[in-house]
Homo-oligomer: A and B are copies of this chain.
Amino acid sequence: MASDTDGFEELTLHSEPAFSGNLLRLRIDTVRLPDGGKATREIVQHPGAVAIVPVTADGQLLMVRQWRHPVAKVTLEIPAGTLTPGESPERCAQRELVEEVGYFPGQLDKLTTVLVSPGYSDETIHIFMARQLQHQGRQPHPQADVSWAPDPDENVHLATVPLRKAVALCTQGAIADAKSVAGILLAWERLQGRP
């Protein structure tokens, strides 16, 4: 039986570590192409991540505003975080939602798993929709923008946006983070009852 990868697959001939940091590693693979030629591939290695689309009972989306140093901008994103070793995506989603916005998800529905940049990165992000949000005692209530810094390395501010408005912010380019655009539009499709 013909496999889905027939005629496509590249075989790794050689793999060379090129960088190892706290979050990222980078390696250079030399590959054999299907036509017999050779090429090199620069590959960023990432532990993987989760992102959460948290929707309240009255249709509000809980988002985070934060400084993103690589792009030198404040972005509006859905809560997200990196998987820790041995942690399931669901457990990571629960942990990150409490850490970033102060709510525990009573219901967690998988929307999809995206490949962030499959041309040069192995990172996948598991995206969930979270509902039945349970306010965790000591955390701030999301009435408006509230300063909230659970991780000393991160300066995360909560922002509450009606889901319908968040969809419009995606189409208008005001929400630019790729996982947020994908997650918000997928949640919107799901909640409209589309396949």
Contact = CB atoms under 8 A, between A and B. Distances in A.
Interface of A: 4-5, 7-10, 12, 18-19, 21-24, 26, 28-29, 31, 33-35, 37, 39-44, 46, 65-71, 73-75, 77, 112-125, 147, 149, 152-153, 155, 157, 167-168, 170-173, 176-179, 181-182, 185-186, 189-190, 194-195
What copy number does this chain have within its complex?
Answer: 2
B42 A21 contact: yes
B34 A120 contact: no
Contacts of A177: 114-115, 118
A5, A19, A194 — most chain B CB neighbours (10 Å): A19
A171 B189 CA distance: 8
B173 A182 contact: no
B112 A173 contact: yes
B66 A8 contact: yes
If over half of A's interface residues share one DSSP class (helix, strand or loop), that class is named, otherwise mixed; here it is mixed
A45 to B, nearest CB: 8
Contacts of A172: 195
A12 B69 CA distance: 9
B170 A5 contact: no
Contacts of A37: 152
A190 B171 contact: yes
Given A70-B121, A70-B122, 4 more contacts: A34-B155, A112-B176, A168-B195, A171-B194
Contact of A178 (B44, B77, B114): B114
B67 A170 contact: no
A47 B49 CA distance: 24
